[in-house]
Amino acid sequence: MKHLSLAALAAMGALASPALADADLRIFISSQHQPDVWRQVLDRFEQATPGVSVEIETGGNTSEAQAQYLNTLMSAQDPSLDVMILDVVRPAQFAAAGWTLPIEDVDMAQYLPAYAEANTVNGKVVALPAFADAMFLYYRTDLLEKHGVAVPTTWDELREAAKTILAAEGDDSLQGLSFQGKPIEGTVCTFLLPYWSLGENLVEDGALTLDEPAAIASMQLWKSFAEDGTSKPNISEVATDDTRKEFQAGDAVFAVNWSYAWAQAQSDESAVKGNVGVARLPAMEGGQQASCLGGWEWGVSAYSEHPAEATALVKYLSSPDVAEFMAVNGALLPAFPQVYEDAEVLAAAPWFADAKQVVETARARPVTPRYAEVSEVIRTTLNAVLAGVSTPEEGVAAIQSRLARVLR
Amino acid sequence: MTAPHNPRFAWLTDPGDRGLAIMLLAPLALLVTLIVVYPVLRLFYTSLFDHSLTSGLPPRFVGLQNFGLMLDDPTFWTTLKNTLLITLVTVPGALIMGLAMALMANMPFKYHWPVRLSLLIPWALPLAFAGLIFAWFFHSEYGVVNDILRRFGFQPVIWFNSPGWSMTAICLTVIWKTSSFMALILLAGLQTIPRSLYEAADVDGAGKLRQFWEITLPLLRPAIAVALIFRTITALQTFDIPYTMTAGGPGGSTATLAMYIHQNTVSFLDLGYGSALAVVMFLLSMLVTVLYLRMIRARG
Q: Span B100-105, mean pLDDT?
A: 89
Q: How many domains are there within chain A?
A: 2
- pLDDT score for B141: 84
Over residues A255-284, the pLDDT tens digits come to: 999 988 888 898 898 999 999 999 999 999
Distances (CA, A) of B254 to A389, A398, B144, B233: 12, 17, 22, 19
Does A189 share its domain with A111?
no
Q: Span A139-151, mean pLDDT?
A: 96
Using 50, 70 and 90 to split pLDDT, how confident is the model at B300?
low
Mutation target for B interface from A234, A245, A303, A402: give the one with most B CBs within 10 A: A234
Question: Searching chain A, which residue's CA lies closest to the CA of residue B252?
Answer: A380
Sort strands A23-28 and A52-57 into parallel, antiparallel or unpaired: parallel
Does A196 share its domain with A110?
no
Question: What is the C-alpha to C-alpha distance for residues B114 and B128, in angstroms, rounded to an integer?
Answer: 25
Residue that wins the pLDDT comparison between B119 and B129: B129
With beta carbons under 8 A apart, name residues in chain B contacting A183.
247-252
CB contact under 8 A, A236 and B266: no
Does A116 share its domain with A173?
no
Q: Where are the beta strands (DSSP E) in B54-196?
A: 60-61
With beta carbons under 8 A apart, name residues in chain B contacting A376.
263, 267-268
Average pLDDT, chain B: 90
Residue A60: pLDDT over 70: yes
Does A351 share its domain with A327?
yes
The nearest CA of chain B is from the CA of A125 a distance in Å of: 17
Q: Span A211-224, mean pLDDT?
A: 97
Using 50, 70 and 90 to split pLDDT, how confident is the model at B297?
confident
Over residues A288-319, the pLDDT tens digits come to: 999 999 999 999 999 999 999 999 999 999 99
Distances (CA, A) of B228 to A245, B25, B171, B185: 44, 28, 17, 10
Does A127 share its domain with A65?
yes
Using 50, 70 and 90 to split pLDDT, how confident is the model at A14?
very low
Question: What is the C-alpha to C-alpha distance for residues A374 and A386, in angstroms, rounded to an integer?
Answer: 19
CA-CA-CA-CA torsion for B234, B238, B240, B241, nearest 10 degrees? 110
CB contact under 8 A, A96 and B247: no
CB contact under 8 A, B250 and A386: yes
With beta carbons under 8 A apart, name residues in chain A contacting B162.
387-389
In this structure, of A366-370, A387-391, B77-81, the range with the lowest mean pLDDT score is A366-370
- pLDDT score for A166: 96
Does A280 share its domain with A300?
no
Question: What is the C-alpha to C-alpha distance for residues B16 and B19, in angstroms, rounded to an integer?
Answer: 5
3-state secondary structure of A276: strand
Task: Please give the share of chain B, as a percent, with pLDDT higher than 70.
Answer: 97
Domain boundaries, chain B: 69-299
DSSP, res B155: P
Question: Searching chain A, which residue's CA lies closest to the CA of residue B266?
Answer: A68
Closest among B263, B57, B266, B54 to A95, alpha carbons compared: B54
The CATH number that applies at residue A76 is 3.40.190.10
Over residues B151-189, the pLDDT tens digits come to: 999 999 999 989 999 999 999 999 999 999 999 999 999
Does A127 share its domain with A42?
yes
CB contact under 8 A, A184 and B141: no
The nearest CA of chain B is from the CA of A103 a distance in Å of: 19
- pLDDT score for B163: 93
CB contact under 8 A, B251 and A384: yes
Within 8 A by CB and 6+ apart from A103, the residues are: A125, A126, A127, A128, A300, A311, A314, A315
CB contact under 8 A, A72 and B266: yes
Mutation target for A interface from B137, B142, B161: give the one with most A CBs within 10 A: B161
Average pLDDT, chain A: 91
Put simply, whether A78 touches B (Cβ < 8 Å) is no
CB contact under 8 A, B55 and A67: no
Put simply, whether A394 touches B (Cβ < 8 Å) is no
The nearest CA of chain A is from the CA of B26 a distance in Å of: 29
Question: What is the C-alpha to C-alpha distance for residues A168 and A8, in angstroms, rounded to an integer?
Answer: 55
Q: Facing residues of A54 across strands?
A: A25
For B69-299, give the CATH class.
mainly alpha
- Residue ranges making up the domain that contains A356: 2-133+294-361
Q: Among partner residues A233, A370, A383, which is closest to B54 by beta-carbon distance?
A: A370
- pLDDT score for A407: 84
Does A93 share its domain with A200?
no
Please report the DSSP string for A145-158 in residue order.
Answer: HHTT-PPPSBHHHH
Q: Span A350-355, mean pLDDT?
A: 86
The nearest CA of chain A is from the CA of B159 a distance in Å of: 9
Does A94 share its domain with A67?
yes
Residue B122: asked if its preceding bond is cis (omega within 30°), the reply is no
Q: Facing residues of A295 across strands?
A: A132
Question: What is the C-alpha to C-alpha distance for residues B101 and B115, in angstroms, rounded to an integer?
Answer: 9
Sort strands A120-121 and A83-87 into parallel, antiparallel or unpaired: unpaired
